[in-house]
Amino acid sequence: MALKKELRFQITVYEDLNELAPKDQALMLQAVSARKNAYAPYSNFRVGAAVSLANAEIVIGSNQENASYPSGLCAERVAIFHAGAKFPNVSVNTVAITAASDNYEVTSPAAPCGNCRQAMYEYEFKQKQPIRLLLMGETGSIIECSSVDDILPLGFNSSFL
Ligand code: THU
């Protein structure tokens, strides 16, 4: 007989940066600073990401657009690939992500796109340890997710291959 299953996950919502633990605040500030190097002449939407690693290193990324639009890349993938390239066998603990626009104030937490969720999930599955996410706009509340798996349920991974 068919079985109905409910998938649930919890997030923590912080009112602002000051509510975060000092290490998380510092990581998010690195993402804010990375955001300033976004190359976003087409969307004017700037995203910064900071990856904190098990060896205490922090690796950053920002979105890099292209006149041929699909050739550009989101901040999260620039950052996670940068981490994979620089420290191939070091686990990722947390990714802090922040988004801002030149056209309006982004007050809602950044939402990683589907491709970035998949890209981060690859590393989470490989390291067998959850990657925590901290999501922020330019101002306003911050969402903490305990794992990429939570925001990419029923994800595709190497076990299928
Ligand atoms: N973008 C990111 O960098 N991360 C996201 O999570 C969503 C979107 C970028 C891609 C593009 O350069 C611009 O934001 C507008 O989509």
| Digitized pLDDT (tens) for each residue of the chain, 161 residues in all | 999 999 999 999 999 999 999 999 999 999 999 999 999 999 999 999 999 999 999 999 999 999 999 999 999 999 999 999 999 999 999 999 999 999 999 999 999 999 999 999 999 999 999 999 999 999 999 999 999 999 999 999 999 99
Across 27-54, b (16+ Cβ under 10 Å) vs e yields: bbbbbbebbeebebeeeebbbbbbbbbe
The answer to whether 19 and 134 have CB atoms below 8 angstroms apart is: no
* 96, β-bridge pairs: 50, 134
Find the 160 Cα to ligand 1 centroid distance in Å: 29
Rounded to the nearest angstrom, the distance between the alpha carbon of 83 and the centre of ligand 1 is: 19
74 lines ligand 1 (CB under 6 A): yes
**Separation of CA 87 from chain center:** 18
Return the bridge partners of 14, or none.
Answer: 142
- Alpha carbon nearest to ligand 1 atom 10, residue: 74
Asked whether the whole model's pTM tops 0.95, one would answer yes
- Establish whether 105 is a catalytic residue: no
Tally Cβ neighbours within 10 Å of residue 104. Answer: 10
